[in-house]
Amino acid sequence: AQSVTQLGSHVSVSEGALVLLRCNYSSSVPPYLFWYVQYPNQGLQLLLKYTSAATLVKGINGFEAEFKKSETSFHLTKPSAHMSDAAEYFCAVTPGRGADGLTFGKGTHLIIQP
Amino acid sequence: GAVVSQHPSWVICKSGTSVKIECRSLDFQATTMFWYRQFPKQSLMLMATSNEGSKATYEQGVEKDKFLINHASLTLSTLTVTSAHPEDSSFYICSAPNSGIVSYEQYFGPGTRLTVT
């Protein structure tokens, strides 16, 4: 079984500041981890994924995440926040190679202050 | 590539009626598709796994007789909400991995917002 914990249901940062969204996972097998972004009333867009290759993963829109097995973490970062980054972010885990559904965290609402 | 569509994008129905939602993989084949529901300001919860040519697998607590899933082809899965009630109002999202390649990625549809009055 697997689970995901996202610390902080809301995160507020100033435009241009560092964005850090936290994700910790629990998995009985080596996990595959994902970060998705969701804008209001829309579906999910994949930001990046960890699939047991490089532990530092770069995604779209300047986001990146680092897989730390010892800390069971997969935190999402972006050096400089932009107003367009305001959205809901979900961390997700799956044990399989696309053959299993995803288990999502509760989500973090990112607020960008001007 | 790797586009998943859903139809309709939103639907309003009366309590007691049934509603069918379609999920299509437009440019790839998907032997497996997944159905999620998302309540307002909440996360996505996996409801069921749709398997082409066989019965769907439902997550614990999901009523299989209420949420009928049919995966009749390699590009189409349907979710029918039978005898819908207001508590079934939600955002339903499907996803599919590309069966033709070794990939860890799932492609999500844009979602269907169901409102039951």
Q: What is the pLDDT of residue A54?
A: 85
Contacts of residue A100 in chain B, CB cutoff 8 Å? 49
Q: What is the pLDDT of residue B38?
A: 92
**pLDDT tens-digit readout, A4-63:** 999 999 999 999 999 999 999 998 788 899 999 999 878 899 999 998 778 999 999 999
For residue B74, the tally of other CB atoms under 10 A from its CB is: 17
Q: Are B75 and B30 in contact (CB under 8 A)?
A: yes
Q: What is the pLDDT of residue B103?
A: 63
Q: Which helix (H) or strand (E) holds A74?
A: strand A73-78
Q: What is the pLDDT of residue B40?
A: 84
Q: Is B44 on the interface with A (CB under 8 A)?
A: yes
Q: Is B1 on the interface with A (CB under 8 A)?
A: no
Q: Which residue type, as a one-letter code, is found at position A104?
A: F
Contacts of residue B93 in chain A, CB cutoff 8 Å? 43-44
Q: Is A99 on the interface with B (CB under 8 A)?
A: yes
Which residue is listed with tokens 């799956």?
A94
Whole-number Å distance between alpha carbons of A91 and A65: 11
Q: What is the pLDDT of residue B101?
A: 66
Q: Which helix (H) or strand (E) holds A20?
A: strand A19-21
Whole-number Å distance between alpha carbons of A20 and A65: 9
Q: Hey, are the CB atoms on B95 and A49 less than 8 Å from each other?
A: no
Distance of CA B51 to the CA centre of its chain: 12
Residue A48 or B100, more confident: A48
Q: Hey, are the CB atoms on B36 and A101 less than 8 Å from each other?
A: yes
Q: Are A50 and A107 in contact (CB under 8 A)?
A: no
Q: Is A67 on the interface with B (CB under 8 A)?
A: no
Mutate to test the interface with A, among B108, B112, B115 (most CBs of A within 10 A): B108
SS3 assignment, position B27: coil
**pLDDT tens-digit readout, B17-46:** 999 999 999 988 888 999 999 988 888 999
Q: What is the pLDDT of residue A41?
A: 77
Range in A28-32, B48-52, B53-57 the model is least confident about: A28-32
Q: Hey, are the CB atoms on A107 and B43 less than 8 Å from each other?
A: yes
Confidence of residue B9 (pLDDT cuts 50, 70, 90): very high
**pLDDT tens-digit readout, A47-102:** 999 987 789 999 999 999 999 999 999 999 999 999 999 999 999 998 865 568 89
Is the pLDDT assigned to residue B5 strictly greater than 90? Answer: yes
For residue A14, the tally of other CB atoms under 10 A from its CB is: 11
Q: Are A106 and A7 in contact (CB under 8 A)?
A: no
Q: Hey, are the CB atoms on A98 and B113 less than 8 Å from each other?
A: no
Mutate to test the interface with A, among B29, B38, B104 (most CBs of A within 10 A): B104
Q: What is the pLDDT of residue B99?
A: 67
Q: What is the pLDDT of residue A98?
A: 57
Q: What is the pLDDT of residue B53?
A: 87
Residue B8 or B3, more confident: B8
